[in-house]
Amino acid sequence: MADVYCRDHGDNPECLGEVDPQYTMDYTDVEGGGYIYWCSNCGPLAHAMEKAINHAFATRPGFAEDLKDAIERAQLEESRAQLEKALE
């Protein structure tokens, strides 16, 4: 098996890299899903975010559509930024 590192390894300067099993997320029940591994520094925030998102889905009508719209806006902004950079 290949070495496994925290999901944020290389992206977050405060990431410890080494997986802490207590923060592993199991999405194997979802088609195409698997495990997401976190270190003891990144894991608490990842779990808090998942809890907040799940709570919003359960309690806010329309949250799924709001989230979809926000993701689409972020993707559009990223595409614009890439285009502007390419045109420099």
- Give per-residue pLDDT as tens, 36-87: 999 999 999 999 999 999 999 999 999 999 999 999 999 999 999 999 989 9
| 1 — pLDDT class (breaks 50, 70, 90) | very low
- In terms of DSSP H, where are the helices of 1-88? 43-59, 63-87
- Give per-residue pLDDT as tens, 11-37: 999 999 999 999 999 999 999 999 999
DSSP 67-79: HHHHHHHHHHHHH
Question: Which residues neighbour 25 within 8 Å (Cβ) at sequence distance 6 or greater?
Answer: 35, 36, 38, 46, 47, 50
Q: What is the pLDDT of residue 2?
A: 58
What is the pTM for the complete model shown?
A: 0.72
Q: Which two tokens stand for residue 29?
A: 């029940």
Tell me which residue of 18, 57, 22 sits closest to 39, measured CA to CA: 18
